[in-house]
Amino acid sequence: MKKYFFPKTLIQKMLFTLIIMAIYLIGRELPIYGVNLDAYESLRGSADDLIMQTIGGDRYKTSILALGISPYMFSTLFIQMAVALKNADSKSHTSPKKITRATLILMLIWAIIQAYFTTRVTFYLYGEGLQLMLAKLISIVQMVTGAFVILWLATRNGKYGIGGQTILIYVNILDSVVNTVRDTALRDLKVIGIISIAAVLVTIIFENTEYRIPMQRISIHNIYSDKNYIPIKLNPIGMMPVMFSSAFFMLPVYISTTLNSLLPDNKFFEYLYDNMNTEEPLGIGVYIVVLYVITIVFSFVFISPKNLAESLQKSGDSITGLRAGKNTKSYISKRVLIISIFSATFMGLFLGMPLVLQLNGMVPKDVMSLPSIMIALASINCNLYRELRAVKDYDGYVPFI
């Protein structure tokens, strides 16, 4: 037993992951061409959206890895949604190679757009003129290249390391939490700390609890025939709504900004522009609605009651007491809707409560996103634990292979 307490394969994977993390952390310290680092000193410790820091790169967007893993995540999510909306036959004829190509093309486009907007708010050493334009162009090339370097690191870690492609998000989460807590007085962390602990506990329960729909399989006629079911996690799509709610919230923000710039004399558009942020009641309400929409829509996209019902019908299997086809689809859809609303309510409570408390001055602005980060951290930790157990169990069989 002592011989295999620290399995060789597990150690190798963990060492490889540590190397990937070290390379990523070094890359975050390499500044882009022409950036004025001294101009960012006054911003150290200022409030920022911790969620966007985790899916992005460095906090102030000054390194060659400034875009982080977000271009790949957004492009992957979009392609997965497009594939998931297909029927079972069309999905089976979609090759992984074609999906990968489409993801990379979309990632390139999104990375260029994101890098362009990043350069618009970056402080450079140069004033107006050709030097500034050249610095921005070089910066865009560096950031886009950095995004693909991050993709390569994440892919290598997914193949040879622990934690898959989320390990870089994990690094950003730990960095954001440490920096935020370190710069905040202990008395300011009491309320938000209690909320964060409660959010972590509930997340762990949700991640390890599932709703089971009993099934009848025509190929099983033994004592296990009564133990077949369709599992649906109480948190169907994990930390995805938490990670993307802030990003999708920017859509109504951009819309209100555009409308106000086009019609500056319109009082309604001016009101939307002034209040479409998470420091105002309107912005908080829209943010929670976005969270609900993301949770419900993504739950239906990735669980896909339609495709699941079609697969059961083709295999001859069925849900206990239900006819195959429309009845099965309707039954699964209702269950997915109820579970996704339940999950969205849980996340909306822990994400919305700090925003409301911040309005009343009970929670500092720079830590109000801490529960969101802790939910994502707890979700990733649950997945890491399962993966570590799986690798350790596999290593236990190595002497017999």
- Answer yes or no: do 278 and 381 share one domain: yes
Domain co-membership, 142 together with 217 = no
Helices 8-27 & 167-182, crossing angle to 10 degrees? 60
Does residue 60 have a pLDDT over 90? no
Residues 171 and 278 in one domain: no
The per-residue pLDDT of the chain, averaged, comes to 79
* Per-residue pLDDT band at 148 (split at 50, 70, 90): very high
CATH of the domain at 223: 1.10.3370.10
Separation between Cα atoms, residue 89 and residue 92, nearest integer Å: 5
Q: Any idea how long the chain is?
A: 401
**Which residue, of 148, 164, 183, is where some domain finishes?**
183
The pLDDT of residue 63 is above 90: no
Handedness of CA 90, 95, 96, 100 (dihedral sign): negative
247 and 137 in one domain? no
Residue 224: which domain range? 184-401
Sign of the CA dihedral with 290 first, then 375, 168, and 57 last:
positive
Q: How many domains does the chain have?
A: 2
Distance of CA 244 to the CA centre of its chain: 6
> 326 and 239 in one domain?
yes
In which band, very low, low, confident or very high, does the pLDDT at 401 lie, cut at 50, 70 and 90? low
Q: Which DSSP string do the residues of 262-307 spell out, in sequence order?
A: H-TT-HHHHHHHHH-STTSHHHHHHHHHHHHHHHHHHHHHHH-HHH
Is residue 90 over pLDDT 70? no
Q: 126 and 140 share a domain?
A: yes
Q: Which residues pair with 215 in a beta bridge?
A: 319
**Domain co-membership, 238 together with 170:** no
Domain stop point among 183, 199, 215: 183
The span from the first CA to the last CA of the chain, in angstroms, equals 17
Task: Identify which of 62, 64, 22 has the alpha carbon closest to the alpha carbon of residue 44.
Answer: 62
pLDDT band for position 294 (50/70/90)?
confident
Give the whole-angstrom CA distance, residue 269 versus residue 122: 28
pLDDT tens-digit readout, 308-348:
888 877 777 778 777 777 888 888 899 999 999 998 998 88
Are 146 and 177 within one domain? yes
Banded model confidence at residue 282, pLDDT cuts 50, 70, 90: confident
Angle of CA points 350, 354, 358, to nearest 5°? 170
Residue 208 has pLDDT above 90, yes or no: no
Residue 101 in this model has a pLDDT that exceeds 50: yes
pLDDT band at 2 (very low <50, low <70, confident <90, very high): very low
The whole-angstrom separation of Cα 239 and Cα 131 is 42
Looking at residue 337, its pLDDT comes to 92
Distance in angstroms (rounded) separating the CA atoms of residues 52 and 253: 15
- For residue 103, which of 77, 69, 67 has the smallest C-alpha distance? 77
User: Cβ(276)–Cβ(263) under 8 Å?
Assistant: no
Percent above pLDDT 90 for the chain: 6
Q: What is the pLDDT of residue 206?
A: 87
- Please check the confidence at residue 214 and state whether its pLDDT lies above 60: yes
- Chosen domain end from 183, 198, 220: 183
Residues 216 and 101 in one domain: no
Mean pLDDT along residues 43-61: 52
Same domain flag for 328 and 195: yes
Q: Is the pLDDT of residue 193 over 70?
A: yes
**Which tens digit of pLDDT belongs to each residue from 149-189?**
999 998 888 888 888 778 888 887 777 777 777 777 777 78
Residue 238, SS3 per DSSP? coil
* pLDDT at 106 exceeding the cut of 80: yes
The pTM is what? 0.73
- Maximum separation of any 2 CA atoms in the chain, in Å: 78
Across 209-237, average pLDDT? 74
Which of the two residues, 127 and 213, has the higher pLDDT score? Answer: 213
- pLDDT at position 3: 47
Is the domain of 161 the same as that of 262? no
138 shares its domain with 24: yes
The one-letter code for the residue type at 315 is S
pLDDT tens, 366-377?
777 788 888 888
Q: 31: closest CA among 60, 72, 55?
A: 60
